[in-house]
């Protein structure tokens, strides 16, 4: 088990944190069996696994960017 607030060890852990889900839910999002995700955490994913991980990562970044556009940091500041 990792310490709270520690940096993610890999992209799979980062995805789990981004989507705020458990390992089974992440496996469902990736379209694989939970045992496959467990294997990917311990060894290098297959090419198909890397593709699935990258697609989900890309989707997370698109969502994050859309949220940023909807509520920009500088909202409410006057323009000069």
Structure confidence by residue, pLDDT tens digits, 38-71? 999 999 999 999 999 999 999 999 988 887 787 7
Inter-residue contact 12 to 19 (CB < 8 Å): no
Neighbours of 54 (CB within 10 A): 12
Distances (CA, A) of 78 to 60, 74, 75: 31, 9, 9
Record the pTM: 0.74
Across 27-43, average pLDDT: 95
């Amino acid at each position: 088990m990792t310490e709270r607030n520690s940096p993610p060890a890999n992209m799979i852990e980062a995805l789990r944190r981004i989507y705020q889900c458990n390992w089974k839910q992440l496996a469902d999002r990736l379209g694989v069996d939970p045992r496959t995700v467990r294997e990917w955490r311990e060894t290098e994913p297959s090419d198909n696994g890397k593709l699935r991980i990258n697609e989900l990562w890309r989707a997370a970044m698109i969502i994050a960017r859309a949220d940023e556009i909807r509520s920009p940091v500088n909202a409410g500041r006057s323009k000069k």
